[in-house]
A and B are shown apart, each in its own frame.
Chain A
């Protein structure tokens, strides 16, 4: 994984030379990349092709591709786990996946939603496994070719590090939260039940907007949290590795001295990222379950 980041850095070592050339009055280099560009290139989506349908461009992009790969991987792993069930006692992969599934079903879904939590378990499991696999996927270097600039780099791509992906996840979570209340009380009672009964009439003009804002803040916070966590980890690792070319620009000896320090720090953050992948998958699933439970059991 470190080698992958270094490949991306190969482009970063160029800027001093290019900038010097540009200052020398020469034409600006075609691919003058500074640290900020490398950082952005690593975390921002890039378009791979065009497929214009009406006003939309549905062509594959970097994040769309790795989004699909992560989703396919989830389906594949779970299918393989199911296969090991057909032979009786599950072993290996089947047992590992079962442990996580039972954890999500019992400790997240049923504990926070109640006895009808089992109904929401498939959705929560999809959230959990997709976010986990997408985040862990970002720690594996993948060849990523930028068709616009022609840069080939090896870098981990986390599709949940794109705010559009987390917006989609949070929107589904929002629908599930509302469905948790609507399926139980019906549309009218769901919205009436949001304001606690016995509230003085004078407070209603304050309470109704507050409840409505709260309804949309919950998925919004889910969206920002996942996006920022995935983005921040990648940015920190890339920045730590960018210290090498920045130091090398001052003096080659500094750059060489910086290599072990930078690699050790980056490796530490990457190990931390494995932990963050699990925690974020857990938090997103848990908060969705808690919010569904809040709408299914409003304050009496």
Chain B
């Protein structure tokens, strides 16, 4: 069955976006869970933990966006 290569690109973009979000969500979810636990155990350190958490979340999010841009390019080009 002949397939339009564009259809495959859209398919790849959809799958890729889904996989990207799964990875990013798992990473940020684990991070937030650990940070919550840390704050609950040591409420005095809440400020420091929150700062470190935001930095780590930013780094994870940055990597996630790399791959999201690839999927956007797949869907648009």
* A residues lining the B interface (CB < 8 Å): 36, 40, 107, 221, 224-225, 228-229, 232, 235, 279, 282-283, 286-287, 290
* Residues in A whose Cβ lies below 8 Å from that of B61: 225, 229
Interface centre among B61, B62, B69 (most CB of A within 10 A): B62
Q: How far is the CB of B48 from chain A (nearest CB, A)?
A: 10
A1 vs B35: C-alpha distance when bound (angstroms): 35
The DSSP consensus for interface residues of chain A is helix
Partner of B54, one of A224, A225, A235, A282: A282
A107 vs B65: C-alpha distance when bound (angstroms): 27
In the complex, number of A-B residue pairs with CB atoms less than 8 Å apart: 36
22 interchain pairs, CB-CB under 8 A: A221-B59, A221-B62, A224-B65, A225-B61, A225-B65, A228-B62, A228-B65, A228-B66, A228-B68, A228-B69, A229-B65, A232-B65, A232-B68, A279-B54, A279-B58, A283-B58, A286-B51, A286-B54, A286-B55, A287-B55, A287-B58, A290-B55
A283's nearest neighbour on chain B, judged by CB, is B58
Residue B76 CB within 8 A of the other chain: yes
Q: Interface range on chain B: under 10, 10 to 19, 20 to 34, or 35 or more?
A: 10 to 19
Partner of B66, one of A36, A224, A232: A224
Determine whether the beta carbon of B76 is less than 8 Å from that of A225: no
* Residues in A whose Cβ lies below 8 Å from that of B66: 224, 228
